[in-house]
Amino acid sequence: MAWVFSLSAECGTKQFEAQQFAQYFNEISWVLSNGRHSQCRAEIFQDIEENWWCRVCPSGISEIGIDTPESAYLTTEIGIFLYQSLRFAPPFRYALVGMEVDEFRTYSELIEEPALVFPGLVLAEAVWQATGASSVFRSFSLGYVWKPYEGEVYRPLLASPDLKNKLDELLSVGKILLVETSPPTI
């Protein structure tokens, strides 16, 4: 199964706005700190509420998730590049960069559950006002606020089945010892 690192932006009810957003990102590329090039490719789609989304997928990153500290570094670097480009993008309602962020919230879910704030979430000011204008958000660009991006994280227990098995074994031994050493109940 492929893990997709992307920028997903909800652009509202007009297909044309999502197309403009996609066209903007399709023209963007970067040179990464490791010397490799990363080119954006964008596509649009509709969600179950018939709102238009744009998914921007940069090239040059792993499709098996963040499996090393180096891949965490590179995806974070690309994430920062995506947010820098987002500051000058055509209009959108809200956006998020990360692993598997497609349709992370429909518009009605976002409005109905404003406490669900993700690091890196960018909101148009009108959407921010509709969600209650939480103070966790800061200015992002003209007309937008965000909860600052925190980068991507390498988690060895998720990336390595061997380490996960060793932890599971340790946990099962701990349960056995706990049962064997528990004082008798009267």
- Terminal C-alpha separation, the chain: 52
Quick check: pTM over 0.75? yes
pLDDT digits (tens, 9 = 90+) for 52-66: 999 999 987 767 677
pLDDT at 160: 64
Please state, in angstroms and rounded to a whole number, the distance separating the CA atoms of residues 149 and 152. Answer: 9
pLDDT at 117: 79
Q: Say whether pLDDT at 158 is over 80.
A: no
Instruction: Indicate the pairing of strand 138-141 with strand 5-12.
Output: unpaired
45 touches 66 (CB < 8 A): no
Q: Which of 12-26, 100-114, 122-136, 167-181 has the lowest mean pLDDT?
A: 167-181
Residue 60's nearest CA partner among 79, 84, 45 is 79
Q: What is the mean pLDDT of the chain?
A: 86
Q: Which residues contact 170 (CB under 8 A, 6 or more apart)?
A: none
The DSSP line for 94-154 is EEEEEET-TTSS-HHHHHH-TT---TT-EEEHHHHHHTT--TT-EEEETTEEEPPP-----
Give strand pairing partners of 123.
94, 145
pLDDT at 178: 55
Provide mean pLDDT across the span 151-173: 74
pLDDT digits (tens, 9 = 90+) for 129-140: 999 888 889 999
pLDDT at 148: 93
pLDDT at 27: 85
Q: How confident is the model at residue 85 (pLDDT cuts 50, 70, 90)?
A: very high
pLDDT at 113: 83
Calculate what percentage of the chain has a pLDDT beyond 70. 84
pLDDT at 181: 57
Q: How confident is the model at residue 166 (pLDDT cuts 50, 70, 90)?
A: confident
- Neighbouring CB atoms inside 10 A of 60's CB total 15
Give strand pairing partners of 93.
none
